[in-house]
Amino acid sequence: MNPQHTIGREVYFQGIGLHTGNLCKTVFQPAPAGSGVRLVRSDLPGQPSIQAHYSNVLSVIRGTTVGNEDMRVHTIEHMLSAVYALEIDNLVIQLNANEPPVADGSSQGFFDTLKEAGVVPQDAPRDVLQPAERLDYRGGDTEITLEPADYLELTTVVVYNHPLIQRQEATLRIDPQTYRQEIAPARTFCFDYEVEALKKQGLARGGSLDNAVVIGLDRIHNKEKKLRFPNEFARHKALDLLGDLFLLGRPLTGRITAVRCGHGHNINFVKQIAQRFLERSSVYAADRS
């Protein structure tokens, strides 16, 4: 039996949110088998909560936001990417603000914090989705395909008409060790000309050269003036995609190739997977509220 997992003890991670700029303490707590990942706003009256599930996505502008009439949590993809990579199925995540910390713009802080808590097996099997047929998603210039496999592998391709990027590609098998070494350190990125526009939209209020790669016309503006990987942007797209895939509600196997993907397309892809392989099944009738 491939068992479900939770963490061995409570741990926390804190810092400012990328888009809101709010200081947040995120507390991770063990949860019973079969309960999934639940986000709790401990700062709000009654401590409202919501399941980390695609049906609860409210926004995909520069990040993935889930919520309902009582609460919202912005930019959850880096945090959930680490949860997915560590094969954690059940978790309570308490936040005392509306956005988890951005740290350095990667997911390694979340990964290391959760790994320190210990990943422990539970007395229930993992319900892994293993599609037996190919699925194709198309949206504008974006193409995402899923092909059958008995493991999860992501190929992400970014294409920009920019001298410092042009085309980058990364292909990586998803397992805890590979993820920590090859994906988790990859940081979020933006172009310097976007920064002012983002702030006018009420975004990137917590953004700085410490938590995002800012790309200029002919240079990287960060203090170290270089990337962590030659294809860091493609790797970060894999990081984001994995976090959005977590919202499917079940671990997935398959070879996924994503060209020019982003949060909106990722979530549409997740919904397409659910419609094809899950929602037709009477087994998938659990309450996701």
Token readout for 184 is: 């988790």
- E strand spans, 71-228: 72-73, 91-95, 119-125, 135-139, 142-147, 152-159, 167-173, 189-191, 213-215
- For 269, the 3-state DSSP assignment is helix
Cβ contacts of residue 97 below 8 Å, gap of 6+?
17, 20, 22, 23, 24, 25, 43
Tell me the backbone φ, ψ of residue 273, rounded to 5 degrees: -60, -45
Structure tokens at 287: 């309450």
- How does 88-103 read in b/e, with b if 16+ C-beta sit within 10 Å? bbbbbbbbbbbbbbbb
Is residue 23 within 8 Å of residue 14, measured between CB atoms? yes
CA atoms within 13 A on the CB side of 286: 13
Quick one: how far is CA 204 from the chain centroid? 18
Contacts of residue 162, defined as CB under 8 A and 6 or more positions apart, other chains included, come to: 191, 215
Please give the helix or strand (H or E) that residue 59 lies within, else none. strand 57-59
Active site residues per annotation? 263
- Pairwise CA distance, residues 37 & 74, whole Å: 15
